[in-house]
Amino acid sequence: MNSLLDVILTTDFAFSVLRVTTPILFAALGALISNRAGIINIGMEGIMLVSALAGVIVSAYTHSAWVGLLGAVLSGTLIAGILAFFTLKFKTHIILGGVAINMFASGGTVFILYLLSGDKGSSTSLASKVLPSVQIPLLKDIPVLGPILSGHHILTYFSILSVLVVYYLLNRTPLGLRIRSVGENPHAAQSVGVSVVRIQYTALLLSGFFASLGGAYMSMGYLSLFTRDMVAGRGWIAIAAESMGRSTTVGTALTSLLFGAADALSNALQVLKIPAELIATLPYVATVVGLIIYAVSETRKKNKKLKTTTTK
């Protein structure tokens, strides 16, 4: 037990929580935006995978990590655009489209990887670039806080910034108002001339944008190469984080952090003599426990409400 605490109560562990939260947080914010517009993007996993590969390839050929990032974002947003096109234009069911995107991404990335590098497993033969980490002056010298908060990957900082951006976007801008109105009562939005389809397009593209930042982080920060199916369910966990966060920006960010912490814990505990398989279940156990707590509190709230209305 002591050794467990030894592992958790270190600045290294706290640092790693932020590190593994980053891709989940990005994707969860993306899921949040599309969900608020009333359209569930379950293609997060596939979008992340495609953008992870695109970042590696573009950076390898242009010798620039930043152009690589741009490539990742463009390709991820493009995939979201394709999903939006089929869903909103041809009225394909969004779940069907999302599943197609995920399967296409899983197979397609391996295919392209093989074409370019001759390797089906990873991109080791491609000289891809990595985005920099940032030391924050002043902050880095503060004990405890410094080692936890400073020295992170630039996209990690950007993901935290994105929480504020998404909050502002949804709650304080005309676009956010329209996104929420379309999600809550599309007829109302339509009746005042808001184009439901255009708003949902925008929301899906934005969700693709954020998911692809998460994907770029996977191959240009978390790891420095692409490996097959490297997103490993993070897109799905992000969707869970969004709904457990009750579709609010703050809730989504906090649940993402919770899942990140569980993920980090499972990484950290591998040094102990606990079976790796058991540790690997931690994030999922956290999900189930979280959902149970959520369901219980919701039921209580409902019962309370019922009681007050009946006593009225």
Least distance in angstroms from the C-beta of 180 to another protein: 7
Residues that bind another protein (CB under 8 A): 168, 172-174, 176-178, 180-181, 184-185, 187-194
Strand partners, 134: 152
Least distance in angstroms from the C-beta of 169 to another protein: 9
Instruction: Report residue 129 as tokens.
Output: 């670039």
Least distance in angstroms from the C-beta of 182 to another protein: 9
- Computed on alpha carbons and rounded to an integer, the radius of gyration of the chain in Å comes to 21
Alpha helices in the chain, H assignment, sequence order: 2-8, 11-36, 44-62, 65-84, 94-117, 145-149, 154-172, 174-184, 186-191, 196-217, 234-244, 249-268, 276-280, 282-311
Tell me how far apart the alpha carbons of residues 256 and 20 are, in angstroms, rounded to a whole number: 10
The residue (of 196 and 218) whose beta carbon lies closer to another protein is 196
Tell me how far apart the alpha carbons of residues 288 and 280 are, in angstroms, rounded to a whole number: 14
Q: How far is CA 271 from CA 6, 16, 99, 283, in A?
A: 11, 15, 36, 17
The residue (of 199 and 230) whose beta carbon lies closer to another protein is 199
The residue (of 135 and 185) whose beta carbon lies closer to another protein is 185
The identity of residue 205, as a single letter, is L
The residue (of 114 and 168) whose beta carbon lies closer to another protein is 168
Q: Which of 86, 93, 84, 79 is nearest to 231 (CA)?
A: 79
Least distance in angstroms from the C-beta of 187 to another protein: 6
Least distance in angstroms from the C-beta of 183 to another protein: 9
The residue (of 161 and 188) whose beta carbon lies closer to another protein is 188
Q: How far apart are the first and last CA of the chain?
A: 52
Tell me how far apart the alpha carbons of residues 154 and 131 are, in angstroms, rounded to a whole number: 7
The residue (of 118 and 193) whose beta carbon lies closer to another protein is 193
The residue (of 115 and 192) whose beta carbon lies closer to another protein is 192
b or e along 267-287 (b: 16 or more beta carbons within 10 Å of the residue's beta carbon)?
Answer: bbbeeeeeeeeebeebbeebb
Least distance in angstroms from the C-beta of 39 to another protein: 16
Least distance in angstroms from the C-beta of 200 to another protein: 15
